[in-house]
Structure 1
Amino acid sequence: MKDIVIATGNQGKINDFKHIFKDYNVIGIKSLIPDFDVAETGTTFEENAAIKSEYGMKLLNKIVISDDSGLEVDALNNAPGVYSARYSGEGATDEKNLQLVLENMKDKEDRNARFICVIAVSIPGKPTQTFRGEVAGTLLHEPRGENGFGYDPIFYVASHGKTTAEMTGAEKAQISHRGHAIQKMLDSGIIEEA
Structure 2
Amino acid sequence: MARHFDGNKLVIASHNKGKVREIGELLEPFGVETISAGDLGLPEPVEDGLTFIANAEIKALAAAKAAGLPALADDSGLEVHALGGEPGIYSARWAGPTKDFSVAMAAVNEKLGNVEDRGANFTCALTLAWPDGHMESFEGKVFGSLTWPMRGEKGFGYDPVFVPTGFDVTFAEMEPAEKHAMSHRAEAFKQLIDACFKPA
Alignment of 1:11 with 2:35, yes or no, is: no
2:138 counterpart of 1:131: yes
User: Are the aligned partners of 2:123 and 2:141 in contact in 1 as well (CA < 8 Å)?
Assistant: yes
Partner of 1:73: 80
Letter in 1 for 2:39: S
Q: Aligned partners of 1:192, 1:77: CA distance in 2, in Å?
A: 37
Q: Which residue of 2 aligns with 1:2?
A: 8
Change (3 A) 1:35 1:54: closer
- Structure 2 unpaired stretches of 5+: 1-6
Offset from partner CA, 1:135-192 (integer Å, 9 cap, x none)? 001000211111111110000023232100001111111011111111100000x246
Report the Cα distance in structure 2 between the residues aligned to 1:91 and 1:170, rounded to whole angstroms. 28
Task: Give the 3 Å change call, closer, same or farther, for CA 192–29 of structure 1 in structure 2.
Answer: farther
d(CA) in 1 for partners of 2:122, 2:88: 9
CA contact (8 A) 1:145 1:165 kept: yes
What is the TM-score normalised by the length of structure 1? 0.92
2-structure distance, mates of 1:47, 1:76:
22
One-letter identity of the residue aligned with 2:163: Y
> After the TM superposition, which residues 14-163 of structure 1 pair with which residues of structure 2 at under 5 Å, given as runs?
14-23=20-29, 24-32=32-40, 34-125=41-132, 127-163=134-170
C-alpha RMSD of the superposition: 1.7
Find the aligned partners of 2:97 and 2:164 in 1 and give their Cα distance.
Answer: 30
Q: TM-score, normalised by structure 2?
A: 0.90
Q: CA deviation at 1:102?
A: 0.9
Report SS of the residue matched to 2:115.
coil
After superposition, the Cα gap between the structure-2 partners of 1:3 and 1:35, relative to the gap in structure 1 and judged at 3 Å, is: closer
Identity between Structure 1 and Structure 2 (%): 36
Q: 2:126, 2:64 → 1: CA distance?
A: 14
Number of residue pairs the alignment of both structures matches = 191
Asked whether the equivalents of residues 6 and 14 of structure 1 are also in contact (C-alpha less than 8 Å), the reply is yes
Distance in 2 of aligned mates of 1:4 and 1:63: 6
d(CA) in 2 for partners of 1:168, 1:80: 26
Question: Is the 2:143–2:165 Cα contact (8 Å) retained in structure 1?
Answer: no
Distance, in Å, in 2 between the alignment partners of 1:144 and 1:165 is 7
